[in-house]
Amino acid sequence: MSVLVIGIGNKYRSDDAVGLEIADSLSECNIKNCTIQRSSGEGIALINLWEDFDHVILIDAVKSDSKAGTIHTIDLSKESLQTDFFQTSSHLFALPEAVQLAKTLDKLPKTMLVYGIEGKNFDYGTELSPEVLKAKIELTDRIKTELLELSFNILS
């Protein structure tokens, strides 16, 4: 069973880079049966990436009313994505739209788990906020453990 992990974000928009940085960290672990990709979040490219996989994990920065560094977990087999949740993307056809379109065209993977890290600063820059950096380390470890066990129980 192979798993696709997609880190979404913009390297030069401060906390928006957290998904990409987690993808970078996971790449260094060389986890078996796991493909790591990075994406700007453009929706059609996301569908193109995930359509050949049964199990997908997405990681992106989010902005809601939660505390910076909060890790949100959305299991798409149980709940829907709020369209204004992943508002950090400048793409108008982004992750929420991609999920809806894929659902319409029967191109959703069997399981899809979305991790969102609450960001604080999305201005131009290359540093993560301290709260987001802490969440990055925590979520990287969590996903790494899940992938290494690869029982993928959380999704099955």
Partner 1 sequence: MPTVKNLKMKVSSMSKSNTKIINVDYLARVEGEGSLYLKIKDNKVQDVKFKIFEPPRFFEAFLRDRHYSEAPDITARICGICPVAYQMGAVHAMENALGLTINDNLRELRRLIYCGEWIESHVLHVYMLHAPDFLGYQDAIQMAKDHPDVVNEGLRLKKIGNELVTLLGGREIHPINVRVGGFYKLPTKKDFHSLLENLKWARTAAHSMIKLTSSLEYPDFQQDYEFVALRHPDEYPFNEGRLVSNRGLDIDVSDFEKHFEEEHVEHSTSLHCKLKERGKYKVGPLARYSLNFDKFSPEVQKAAKDAGLKEECYNPFQSIIVRAVEVLHAVNESIRIIENYKEPKSPYIEIDPKESVGYACTEAPRGICYHRYNLDSEGLITDANIVPPTSQNQNSIESDLRELIPLIIDLPDEEITWKCEQAIRNYDPCISCSCHFLKVTIDRE
Query: CB–CB of 94/151 below 8 Å?
Result: no
Q: What is the DSSP string of 15-84?
A: GGGHHHHHHHHHHTTT-TTEEEEEE---HHHHHHHHTT-SEEEEEEEE-SSSPTTPEEEEETTT-PPPTT
93 binds partner 1 (CB under 8 A): yes
For the window 98-137, what string marks contact with partner 1 as x by the rule CB under 8 A? --xx--xx-x--------------xxx-------------
For the window 19-58, what string marks contact with partner 1 as x by the rule CB under 8 A? ------------------xxxxxxxxx-xx--x-------
Which residues of the shown chain bind partner 1 in the complex (CB under 8 A)? Answer: 10-12, 16, 37-45, 47-48, 51, 63, 83-84, 87-93, 96-97, 100-101, 104-105, 107, 122-124
